[in-house]
Structure 1
């Protein structure tokens, strides 16, 4: 009976309903050091999907939150265009691989980035990136909070990886 009571009391710390991520928590602190004359300076705009992403993950990381976080990260790195830009990026959350319960919550975020040349509207890059983040048992007491933190970390790392990849790719074009 004592073990049952302990299990009942510990259950909320191990699992629970995950709430939506805050956009600000999805913004990476990527720091690109682009040269002043780089063709990427203010060259990118962000577009959301034309139709809503009805995946099970959109309640936790919406298309709008993903696009807003990518926009902020591009702005921080001097890549965001105030107008249309040379490139338009459409980010789409493909999958969040989340644990059901546990002490350390590890989440893998898979995001597809579709990059179009704005002058021709042709796809110039179709890149899918998977990134993993672990929120440890000391990150938060509630399991649902740890999963949310892991979601945010995985998406944040994913955006950072995309920006680095994109900058390298675009400089080679």
Structure 2
């Protein structure tokens, strides 16, 4: 039963309740903000049985240019930026012993991220990355010109929050793309 005292305190109670609802809503929005891909999650480390690269490539490669990536808008969806892709590829090449650190770069790599095919929503987030790689030899002739597409699916069990699941799918797709690039590089040894 409503009394006069209850009616007098109702606006104050509603104000406190609406403040709590707004605070919880704000926290939910912050938790659902898109974040850019993490280079460490896109970096590969060699397996024990990994096929070696041609000896000419040992400490002789560098990532010269990465284009086509997108900056992540926190209010939209996770993307892969040029800097994140470049860092992941450089770290991978370093892990495999083909990145030129002290030596001059004899085999520069130019990368163009043509795009990410991303889902709009869903429990499973499958992302396909399309990347063009161009590796030049010391004579500035193409050693490898390849456009590679690779997919990765992050399912609900990988992460319950959709924006994080999409980010994981982006990272997994780029990781798979780099894996395919390394395979093609092994199959295309430089001429002696």
Instruction: Give the Cα–Cα distance (whole angstroms) in 2 for the partners of residues 58 and 84 of structure 1.
Output: 31
Contact 1:18/1:144 (8 A) holds in 2: yes
Which residue pairs with 1:153 in the alignment?
Answer: 172
Contact 2:45/2:96 (8 A) holds in 1: no
Contact 2:44/2:95 (8 A) holds in 1: no
Displacement of 1:40 in angstroms is 2.1
| Counterpart check, 1:27 vs 2:47 | no
Identify the structure with bigger relative contact order (alpha carbons < 8 Å, sequence gap 6+): 1
Instruction: Give the Cα–Cα distance (whole angstroms) in 2 for the partners of residues 151 and 108 of structure 1.
Output: 8
Q: Which runs of 5+ in 1 are unaligned?
A: 1-11
Q: Secondary structure at the match of 1:72?
A: helix
Structure 1 or 2, whichever has the larger Rg, is 2
Displacement of 1:101 in angstroms is 0.4
Q: Which runs of 5+ in 2 are unaligned?
A: 1-27, 73-78
TM (normalized to structure 2)? 0.71
Instruction: Give the Cα–Cα distance (whole angstroms) in 1 for the partners of residues 46 and 176 of structure 2.
Output: 9
Which residue pairs with 1:7 in the alignment?
Answer: none
Which residue pairs with 1:116 in the alignment?
Answer: 136
| Counterpart check, 1:39 vs 2:59 | no
Which structure has the highest helix share of the two? Answer: 2
Instruction: Give the Cα–Cα distance (whole angstroms) in 2 for the partners of residues 96 and 89 of structure 1.
Output: 20
| Counterpart check, 1:77 vs 2:93 | no
Q: 1:159 to 1:66 in 2, by over 3 A?
A: same
4+ long deviations beyond 3 Å: 30-33
